[in-house]
Amino acid sequence: MPGTNATATRTTAAAEGDVTVLLIGMRINHFWAVHHWLPVFLAMPRMLRELAKDPERGLLNHVLLTASPRTYYVVQYWESKEKLYEYAHSPDMSHHRAWAVINRKERKGQVRGHVGLWHEAYVVPEGSYESIYADMPPFGLAAAHGQVPLERRGKRARDRFAYRTRKAAGAAEARTEKSVVAPGNAPDEG
């Protein structure tokens, strides 16, 4: 967030439950083919503005990044994979229209490899992510879900990975109790 002051302490993301992350980007394969890659380059800011105007769509936060002078991408944090799918397939949204244009060009044989597109989507279960921010304003996962003092989740990475919300801890306990079978009652014992 531009202009946001850094927090002079160590914090961690306040995320609870599963976290949905989308990495999406483009690669300019031929710089000289500006008329092919520029519309693609401009499409993402348009989609992000559209999502910012309608928080109910489920985008919690995003970070714009570059991997090289050719490759640009966005890390997006979503409320759920369902909200992500819903946005991607909504006919009244920019993403759906952009993909329709690309698909039409592919069917006509007009896509010539001038620009590459990619995305990766992840649903990360609670207990499979951790974060630390030292002297940082809210960033990434913490900007999406809020941040808490590091001590609340654990000073060490292994402690933060082990953190479970009460709801998740109770569900895990219930699964463990169901899977424990008393000696003599196991199906293989005769």
Stated pTM of the model: 0.81
- How many residues make up the chain in this entry? 190
Q: Is 90 exceeded by the pLDDT of residue 6?
A: no
Residue that is written with structure tokens 């769509």 in the block = 57
Average pLDDT over residues 21-41: 95
Average pLDDT over residues 93-100: 90
Which position has the higher pLDDT, 108 or 181?
Answer: 108
Mean pLDDT for all residues in the chain: 87
Residue of 111, 104, 23 whose CA lies nearest to 71: 23
Tally Cβ neighbours within 10 Å of residue 26: 20
Residue 134 β-bridge partners: 10
pLDDT tens figures, 41-81: 999 999 999 999 999 999 999 999 999 999 999 999 999 99
pLDDT of residue 165: 83
pLDDT of residue 169: 59
Q: Is 80 exceeded by the pLDDT of residue 97?
A: yes
Measured distance CA(137)–CA(4) in Å, rounded: 6
Q: Is 50 exceeded by the pLDDT of residue 186?
A: no
Q: 166: exposed, middle or buried (C-beta count within 10 Å: 0-12, 13-18, 19+)?
A: exposed
- pLDDT-derived band at 105 (thresholds 50, 70, 90) equals confident
Judge whether 165 and 15 are in contact, CB under 8 Å.
Answer: no
Q: Which of 44-53, 93-102, 133-142, 172-181 has the lowest mean pLDDT?
A: 172-181
Measured distance CA(69)–CA(2) in Å, rounded: 23
> What type of residue sits at position 119?
H
